[in-house]
Every structure is written in structure tokens, then in C-alpha cells.
Copies of this chain bind each other. A is one copy, B any other.
Amino acid sequence: MEKFKITFYPDNKTVEVDKGKTILSASISAGINIASSCGGDGVCGRCKVIVKKGEVISHPTGRISLEERRQGVYLACLTAIQSDLEVEIPPESRLDFDKLTPEEIDLRLKGLFSDLEEIEPSKSVLSEDIFVHSPLATKLYLELPKPNLNDRVSDLERLYRQINRIQEIPIMQTGLANIRRLGELLRSSDWKVTVTLGKRNGTTEIVLIEPGDTTQKNFGLAFDIGTTTICGQLLDLNTKKVLGTKATYNRQATFGSDVITRIVYAQRQEGLEKLHHAVVDTMNEMIQELVRERSIDLNDVNCILCAGNTTMIHLLLRVDPTYIRREPYVPTANFVPTIRAAEAGIKINPRGLLSCVPGVSSYVGGDVVAGVLSCGLDKEKDLCILIDVGTNGEIVLGNREFLVSCSASAGPAFEGSGVSCGMRAAKGAIQEVKIDKNFAVNYTTIGGVKPTGICGSGYIDIVAQMLNVGLIDKDGKIRPIEHPRIQIDQEGRKFVVVFKEETQTGHDIVITEADIENIKRAKAAIYSAVVILTKYMNLDLAKIKKLFIAGGFGTYLNIDNAIRIGLLPDLERDRFLFVGNSSLVGASAILLSCEAMKKANEVAKKMTYIELSVEPGYMDEYMAALFFPHTDLAKFPSITV
């Protein structure tokens, strides 16, 4: 097979690949991450690159404009290599997997630390006192009575006996590896050892036996594994102290931006393995950094607790997610047994344990269960709702009596995908927008840099403000007003949010009618899901006393604007509570307490899942919500149109 050299700029990295391979696959070989929301199917148009030199064959695509074509722009996924190439990757096509900036991390973690002032009091429901301190892995220092002719009990039974003197353990297990080392270890340590006990599927396992007293060194990790972002936390299991927190992009993003494209990708040759390694590599690097920063030995990290949506957990464990997206949408497992972390490729102590927060269904995962636990929804007397807006909007309605959940296919608009200038809530994203009567635009970006695109909260602001100043009608059509910001082409009207002179990309940042349509569909999906849950329970929407808004999305969300466009129900503003990354908070709580894990199991079992696609009335509700804010204005009394 003929081979060609491909050099990528501005990285100046060269790789050699077979003739006919795509530029996207060459970039993966080069370790360069190009955005590819659709997983390389030529649909999303995110992977634009500029071929500076060399020959290629490319499939035709409507995603490249005539002007771009003239500039040598191609979709990396559709373009086959025919000679040595020089390829430039523009900033907007780039997925930066380096550490997020402090602001970006902050965005993803808000609500984690009680010392952040802006955190709502509701976050502190997960105070130290809620769950008994009984971490997934505990250490016990033992001074064993030495054997003598009157006490000749074997080494292993001696160990068990001593453990049971301290705490009664009905079913204790030990692996052969520990038994093989036991005789020498007990004697060389003068019968003074520390055992690490791990909870494992209804039994207690002696995970580790170490010489001397190492009880001070007992660390664990909690992870929120999101489709886009992965957040991890290093905890001292003895003191419950958070020793470090990291957030980074999930490297799987190279293979598609949402769970569906990932599931589709998993069915390719080696697809599942690649997705599995991508998430594991991301986590391992985070773990390495977390322990290095605290000078902690990886061997002293004894367990990891993961919360994630059902697809992410399947991919983490290298379990085929195929059936999640096939009717009747049944995952392989919601309650995954605790395994050795090494079995999943996670590098902590080789005998350390990995546990996952149980999920409810294919589209309501352990992250939602952890979220419920974290905001204490399951203990509330009053009716509450938890809304986690992402590609799928996961919604839980309930209180201490019942829990009912659903997943609304909002589409990726709020995550910056499927909208012309959309991007994730990363550096350069327009996050807050104000438009005045003269259509002057005021905005802030994440990181305070020149804008690259618009993220979810930015779009909500823009649409709300456009409604307020009469730029669009309640159907979302841009009014035919003469203004430099209002332009028209064959696809319809568009509004220029930022002119190209001010952007990083050199192009106008705009919102098109098609974008507004996408936003409308997304918000309608969420809102109608909320309505359906309340109807399912025969409850009045107005009875909801607390609305927990979870996820990074919530952090910069302007509640007024979200209600203005009809995304959130029109209730008193003080009922809305931002709970930040409630999945990570919940995972940490479960890591630190078996009682919390027990509770998570109860919540997952108790929670009813409503499949919206087959729920009678959902389509009607959805159609009714396809207006700003809604066809039935009575539902939005605070909005004066």
C-alpha cells in the first residue's frame, strides 16, 4: 500500500498513512483532535480543514460553501489522501483536549465546593452529616497475636479473626494474589499489617494487605463521566477532604458529539475498543495529574466511583451499547457489579475497586441518580424537579413519595451543535448576551477572549433578547427589518451577533432562522417533557416548589431568558436552584458512604422511567410548545408579549 506524509499546521506534526485514508483518520494518528460531532459521517460539517498542498479526493457536501471550496476547505472525514499533504486545521475545527482553563473548569464544577460563595444554599444538602462515613474502601490496622503452639490458627484465618474482632463482617473474600503473599508478609512485618477492605456486591473483600500502619494513606476518586466533559475528584477517604478536582473533555468527542453517534461508532470495526480507550485514557491522565499534584502514590488510591449516563458507563466497561438505541431501548446493565478498576483499564492500585452509580434506563443513567441524591430531591416533602439540560435533557419529578423521570431528545443545540455558530461552553464561547432596542449587542465570552462561537446559554439569551426587542416573532422568524445586522441569503434571514472584525475566526458570528428553529425544537422538547411528567402524575406544574437546574449549562443560564423563550416553566424565580455538577457531588457522596450507595440503589429502583416517544400526549405537548414561549400564553403569565 502506497504511503503518504501528511503534515498538520499549525501543529507542524507529520504522520505517514496509507493512500486513500481520510484526513480525519490521519489527524487521529497524529494525536490531533479535530471536532467531529457526527463521528465522521460527513453530516455535522465540524471537521473543516484547509488543504494547502497536495492531492485529495473528496465527496461532495453541502457543508462547504463555494467560497470555502475556493480556499481549499474540505471536510476531513470525507476527504481521501492521494499524495503527500500539507493541511491546516483552523481554530474552530479544533477540539482542545488539554486541560480546560480555570474558568472552564469552574464552569463545570460550580456547586462542588461549599466555599464558593455564589453557590446556593441548596447545594449544602450534601453536607457531611447526611450519610454515615463508610467509604467504598476502608483501611484497618491490625496487630495480630503471633501464632504459638497454643494458637496455631492459619495466617488467613488469623487475619479474618482479628478483623472480625474489630468489625463483624458476614461474608469476607480474599483473592489468591493476597493469599500468596500472606505468609511472608505477616512475618516480615512482625504481624503488624494494614488491610484495605472494599465493599463488593454484598460482600467485603480484602483488597490489599500492606506491612505496617498505612491507614493514613487511603484515597479514592469520584468521576462524573459526561458525553462531552469528564470531571474527576480525588478524595481522602479518611477525612472526606477533596484533595483536587479536574475537568477535561471526553476524548471520545473525536468519534461523535452525542451518545447516539457514539453508539453508532461503537458498531464499527474496533469502534467499541477505540471509544473505551478514549474514555479510559482521558480518566487515567486526569488521575495521574490529580495524584501528582498531591504527591500521592497511585497505589494508595484504592477505589473509584463513577457516575455517568448509561452509554458512557457501557463504554467505560467496554460493554456493547448497541441495544441502548434499538427499540425497546434496553441497556445491558443498569446495576453494574463492582469490579477491579484494572479490569476496565483504570490505573489506580492494581487491586483497587471500581463501582458505578446504578442507572434507571438507557437514557436516565447513574449521573441522574447521583444528581437526585446530591440535591436531596428524594427526601423533599414538597414536589420538586431536577432538570439536567444537555444533548438529552434528563428530568426527574418527585419528592420523598415518588420519583418519575424521562429523557427529552433536545438535540445538541444547547451544547452548540447543529447550530451554525454553535460551540461548547469552552474558551471563546459567547455565554451572555444583551441586545438593546437599537439592536446593539453586548456580550461576554468564556475566558474573556475574542469570540469563536456561541454556547447554549448565549443562544438562550440571544433568542430571548431578540423576542424582547421584536427582532423575531413568536414563531421564531426574523422580522424583515432594514439593519446592518440583518442579512438575507438563499437560506433565509440571519442576525449578525458579532461582526467578523471582532471574532477570532475572521467570520461573522450569526444566528440564522434555522438556528432559531433548532433552539425552539430543543426548548420545546424540554418543556413538554416537564409537562408530561406532571400530567403523568396528575399534578399541577405550579405545585413544583423547587426546580434544581443541574450541569455546567445552568451556571450562566439566565432564568428570565430561559422562561422567556419557554424552556423553563414560568414559576417564581426563587424556586430555581442551580446545583452545579450534581452528578459529581453525588458520586463523591457515594464514594464516601455505603449508605449513600444503598440510597442510590433505592433511588434507581424506585424511579419510574417514562419513554416519551411512546407516551400518549407527548407529541401534542411538544407541538404546542413550538412557539416562543408557547401557544398557550396563559402558561406564561409573567411574559408580556
Instruction: Give A residues with C-beta under 8 Å from B.
Output: 147-149, 151-158, 170-171, 173-176, 179-180, 182-184, 187, 201-203, 317-320, 322-323, 327-337, 339, 343-344, 361-362, 609, 611, 614
Contacts and interface: CB of A to CB of B under 8 A. Distances in A.
A180 B331 CA distance: 12
A203 B171 contact: yes
Contact of A317 (B171, B180, B203, B333): B180
A4 to B, nearest CB: 37
8 contacts: A149-B328, A152-B361, A152-B362, A156-B335, A179-B333, A183-B322, A183-B332, A202-B203
Given A203-B202, A203-B203, A611-B149, A333 B180 contact: no
B149 A339 contact: no
B152 A319 contact: no
B201 A157 contact: no
Nearest to A156: B333
A280 to B, nearest CB: 14
B176 A317 contact: yes
B201 A330 contact: no
A323 B317 CA distance: 41
A336 B155 contact: no
Given A170-B202, A171-B171, A333-B154, A180 B149 contact: no
A291 to B, nearest CB: 25
Contacts of A333: 154-157, 179, 182
A587 to B, nearest CB: 20
When A and B form their complex, which 7 residue pairs have the shortest distance between CB atoms, in order from nearest? Answer: A156-B333, A171-B202, A183-B332, A147-B330, A154-B334, A155-B332, A149-B328
A371 B533 CA distance: 65
A55 B330 CA distance: 76
A328 B176 contact: no
A318 B173 contact: no
A328 B148 contact: yes
Contacts of A318: 180
Nearest to A147: B330
A186 to B, nearest CB: 9
Contacts of A151: 328
A139 to B, nearest CB: 21
A320 B182 CA distance: 9
A305 to B, nearest CB: 16
A361 B153 CA distance: 8
A330 to B, nearest CB: 4
A436 to B, nearest CB: 50
A176 B201 CA distance: 13
A474 to B, nearest CB: 35
Nearest to A331: B154
Contacts of A343: 176
A179 B331 CA distance: 11
B339 A176 contact: yes
A156 B330 CA distance: 10
Contacts of A203: 171, 201-203
Residue in A158, A180, A327, A611 whose Cβ sees the most chain B Cβ within 10 Å? A180
A452 B157 CA distance: 46
Contacts of A327: 149
Given A174-B337, A179-B332, 20 more contacts: A147-B328, A149-B327, A149-B614, A151-B328, A152-B329, A152-B330, A154-B332, A154-B361, A155-B330, A156-B333, A156-B334, A171-B202, A171-B203, A175-B337, A176-B317, A176-B339, A179-B337, A180-B317, A180-B319, A180-B320
Contacts of A184: 320, 322
Contacts of A614: 149
A310 to B, nearest CB: 9
Contacts of A611: 149, 152
Contacts of A153: 330
A182 B332 contact: yes
Nearest to A318: B180
B329 A179 contact: no
Residue in A157, A183, A187 whose Cβ sees the most chain B Cβ within 10 Å? A183
Contacts of A149: 327-328, 611, 614
A202 B334 CA distance: 24
A157 B334 CA distance: 8
B332 A152 contact: no
Contacts of A335: 154, 156-157
A611 B329 CA distance: 64
A153 B202 CA distance: 21
A319 B157 contact: no
Contacts of A157: 333-335
A611 to B, nearest CB: 6
Residue in A201, A320, A334, A337 whose Cβ sees the most chain B Cβ within 10 Å? A337
Given A183-B319, A318-B180, A343-B176, A331 B202 contact: no
A179 B156 CA distance: 31
A269 to B, nearest CB: 15
Nearest to A150: B328
A201 B171 contact: yes
Given A155-B323, A156-B335, A329-B152, A201 B183 contact: no
A336 B157 CA distance: 9
A12 to B, nearest CB: 41
A593 B352 CA distance: 34
A170 B149 CA distance: 39
